Amino acid sequence: MAHDPSITVIIPANNEAGYIGPCLAALARQTMQGLELNAGEIIVAANACTDETLAEAEAARAQLEGAGWQLILLDIPTPGKLNALNAAESKARGKVLAYLDADVIIEPGMIGALVAALDTDRPLYASGHLRVAPASSWVTRRFATVWQNLPFMTTNVQGAGLFAVNRAGRARWDSFPDIIADDGFVRLMFAPDERIKVDAAYHWPMVEGFGKLIQVRRRQDAGVRELAEKFPQIMKNESKPPMRPSDHLRLLRRFPLSYVVYVTVMIFVKLGGKSATGWTRGR
């Protein structure tokens, strides 16, 4: 009798050719310590793709199956990340559900660490140590240097690009609502003491260039406002520490040029007001 897999990794994908292959290759390299053979399931929820995303994912099947994964490919004609997540969840059998962006690369110990952390009946959320992938743009590199050292980044479990919950945790909400910040929505379903940062890293790409940084930051701010307006009850779980004058001084001393770049981007973000209201692709 077949057992349900220990983990299902859900990857929503919209025109991710060139990214989905390396993302899946990183899953194939997982050490999977303590997990039984075929303990992992991957669902690629390709939505409204017009490129080679599905073909690239299919090309990874043999490598993934050789590493003990089961691969399910969904070809969803309707665009939209939230719709893709809901479609994938309807097929998912894992005891742990991990949500992974198609352009994120996880390090080899990540899956085993997530399963171990979430192997409990207590509702829990987990992610790893976020590392910004090397950027091509000088502006992005400078911005990322400061961003990775903000109080929120150094003291919290973030989850941008990768987060996971156990089934008890997933029971806290129904289907994914049509919102901008799906990662923030899930994170705020859990109190700070219900979030775990496992001892494994993943590499998350930041958008390239001054203009795109502003555009995406405005979208992120709009996502936070939307959560506060539509789901005020979960905002009590927000644990983001404020930026104090001492934090600004610390960052200025450590990274003077990068700090100036970071502040300049954020000023332009604020000058844009509340114009960002929907999903914006970063690349």
| Phi, psi values for residue 179, rounded to 5° | -135, 170
Which range of residues forms the domain containing residue 160?
A: 7-271
Question: How many angstroms separate the CA atoms of 148 and 146, rounded?
Answer: 5
- What is the per-residue burial (b if ≥16 Cβ within 10 Å, else e) of 115-128? bbbbeeeebbbbbb
Tell me the three-class secondary structure of 19-50, residue by residue.
CHHHHHHHHHCCCCCCCCCCCEEEEEEEECCC
Q: How confident is the model at residue 33 (pLDDT cuts 50, 70, 90)?
A: low
State the DSSP code for 97. E
- Asked if residue 222 belongs to a domain, the reply is yes
Handedness of CA 273, 205, 191, 177 (dihedral sign): positive
- Asked if residue 276 belongs to a domain, the reply is no
pTM of the model: 0.94
Share of the chain above pLDDT 90, in %: 89
- Asked if residue 2 belongs to a domain, the reply is no
| pLDDT tens column, 174-206 | 999 999 999 999 999 999 999 999 999 999 999
Mean pLDDT across the stretch 199-226? 96
Count of other CB atoms within 10 angstroms of residue 31: 15
- Asked if residue 105 belongs to a domain, the reply is yes
β-pairing, 7-13 vs 40-47, is: parallel
- Asked if residue 277 belongs to a domain, the reply is no
- Asked if residue 246 belongs to a domain, the reply is yes
Nearest CA among 157, 171, 95 for reference residue 126: 157
By CB neighbour count within 10 A (0-12 exposed, 13-18 middle, 19+ buried), where does 146 fall? buried
Residue 238 sits in a domain of what CATH number? Answer: 3.90.550.10
Count of structural domains, the chain: 1
- Asked if residue 279 belongs to a domain, the reply is no
